Amino acid sequence: MSKTAKSVWNNCLLFIKDNIQPQAYKTWFEPIVAVKLTDNALSIQVPSKFFYEWLEEHYVKILKVALTKELGETAKLVYIIKMENTYGNKQPFTEKIPSSHRTAVKSQDVDIPLNNKSRELKNPFIIPGIRNVKIESQLNPNYSFENFLEGDSNRLARSAGLAVASKPGGTSFNPLLIFGHVGLGKTHLAHAIGVDIKDKYPEKTVLYISAEKFTQQYIEAVKKNNRNDFIHFYQIIDVLIIDDVQFLSGKSGTQDVFFHIFNHLHQNGKQVVLTSDKAPVDMQDIEQRLLSRFKWGLSAELHNPDFETRVSILKNKLYRDGVVMPDDIVDYIAKNIKSNVRELEGAIISLIAQASFNKKEVTIDLARVIVEKFVKNTKREVSIDYIQKVVSDYFQMDIETLQSKTRKRHIVQARQLAMFFAKKFTKASLASIGSQIGKRDHATVLHACKTVDNLSSTDKQFRKYVEDITKKLSV
């Protein structure tokens, strides 16, 4: 009996069904229709691009084995994607993509679509009806390359940013991941890339968004049953800039959708720029497949700026604000505030403000007072009360619950964390910490500190609590 598309596919299905979970089979294989068999190429129709990506990501191996069994070593699989008529285009249209040749996907873009009704669509990836939607780039024009002072600490990241801005999607820095500690200029640099691209290529659609907002939008889209619209919207962006991707940690639904958007953009030569407060290797609770994509391009770190760079940043800020300040004062501030650029700017703004409000001259003595106050102010904020508030907010409980006598595990852990941070960030004695956090004795506090230390090195989730809260307390 001669082979037909249907008979070959049915045999493949029998094999696949035996080898994967029933639910997965139902979801991902039952909707597929075998369409055509020419020589050794089987064409199957799938309901969406998302569907195709999913199959390629998760089931390409089993598909290959099944097909090779049926059609021999030279077997080929061709996906025909039936696009539904979202966004009001009258007819569904189809697109052909060969299996597992991701580099070939691009060249397939210009294939004449199978359905002649869709001939007017030059690029079927662009959804009709949304093309002319006005998309605000959300870029801050004040964050430009010009204002981003170069130094050893940021040279690699800045140069890579400039290269990406000159040729978005056309360099090997895709994605470009900029990472570094708080306040070192990640957001500034990410905006600068977008701003420069808009200057050079006004026709390109650039979008800056924080990972937090992206997540909120996604949750909203799921609630409103608009998941596909959400994906399609992001797939038409030419340059997607996502700030603070570490925020996606532990959010598997958002990671999943971002994975598909990322793949689509990357395959189509679109640029992705990401920022994070951690190197990919240190990111926790981010799926491996996403982490490995983060590493595809370039990860460039922003380090603490050295003294010279700090001085240039301060001088540039003063120049832009039209303020003249003696060099010894600028040097004094740059020498004493090293931790992050935001604090450096904060100190100089306080100094200018103090001088003008009190009609005082800017002197080194005034600078000394400000720097001291500045440093003290940040220290003063971390009281035991403040720590209890931060910890209880983090676990969404009130302070009374945190201090209560209960032995419920999550409450005990929250209390132990509060004790641990009180020990770490204040000069209070163990006894004083204990009495302020639920009237416990010093031995309980000591035990809490040890438990937190132990759990941080053995329990990934717990370590994340410690890191998150540390960050909140350090702001």
Ligand X SMILES: Nc1ncnc2c1ncn2[C@@H]1O[C@H](COP(=O)(O)OP(=O)(O)OP(=O)(O)O)[C@@H](O)[C@H]1O
185 appears as a binding residue in the annotation: yes
Tell me the Ramachandran region of residue 408: left when phi exceeds 0, alpha when psi lies from -120 to 50, beta otherwise.
beta
Q: Do 242 and 178 form a contact (C-beta atoms < 8 A)?
A: no
Q: Which of 46, 81, 298, 313 binds ligand X (CB under 6 A)?
A: 313
113, with CB counted inside 10 A (0-12, 13-18, 19+), is: middle
- Residue 198 tokens read as 């808009």
Nearest residue to ligand X on Cβ basis? 185
Q: Does 350 bind ligand X (CB under 6 A)?
A: no
Q: Does 185 bind ligand X (CB under 6 A)?
A: yes
We find the least distance from the C-beta atom of residue 217 to ligand X, in angstroms, to be 19
194 appears as a binding residue in the annotation: no
383, with CB counted inside 10 A (0-12, 13-18, 19+), is: middle
Q: Which of 9, 29, 59, 148 binds ligand X (CB under 6 A)?
A: 148
4 appears as a binding residue in the annotation: no
Q: Which of 161, 168, 183, 280 binds ligand X (CB under 6 A)?
A: 183
Q: How far is 165 from 189, CA to CA, in rounded Å?
A: 11
Q: Does 311 bind ligand X (CB under 6 A)?
A: no
Q: How far is 23 from 255, CA to CA, in rounded Å?
A: 22
Q: Which of 213, 278, 342, 464 binds ligand X (CB under 6 A)?
A: 342
Q: Does 187 bind ligand X (CB under 6 A)?
A: yes
Q: Does 318 bind ligand X (CB under 6 A)?
A: no
185, with CB counted inside 10 A (0-12, 13-18, 19+), is: buried
> Of residues 242-281, which lie at the interface with ligand X (CB under 6 A)?
277
Q: Which of 75, 80, 160, 184 binds ligand X (CB under 6 A)?
A: 184
We find the least distance from the C-beta atom of residue 187 to ligand X, in angstroms, to be 3
Nearer to ligand X, 239 or 241 (CB): 241
DSSP 309-363: HHHHHHHHHHHHHT----HHHHHHHHHH--S-HHHHHHHHHHHHHHHHHTT----
Q: Which of 182, 366, 382, 473 binds ligand X (CB under 6 A)?
A: 182
Q: How far is 166 from 161, CA to CA, in rounded Å?
A: 9
313, with CB counted inside 10 A (0-12, 13-18, 19+), is: buried
Q: Does 82 bind ligand X (CB under 6 A)?
A: no
Q: Report the binding-site residues.
A: 183, 185-187
Name the site residues for ligand X (rule: CB under 6 A).
147-149, 154, 180, 182-188, 277, 313, 341-342, 345
Q: Report the binding-site residues for ATP.
A: 183, 185-187
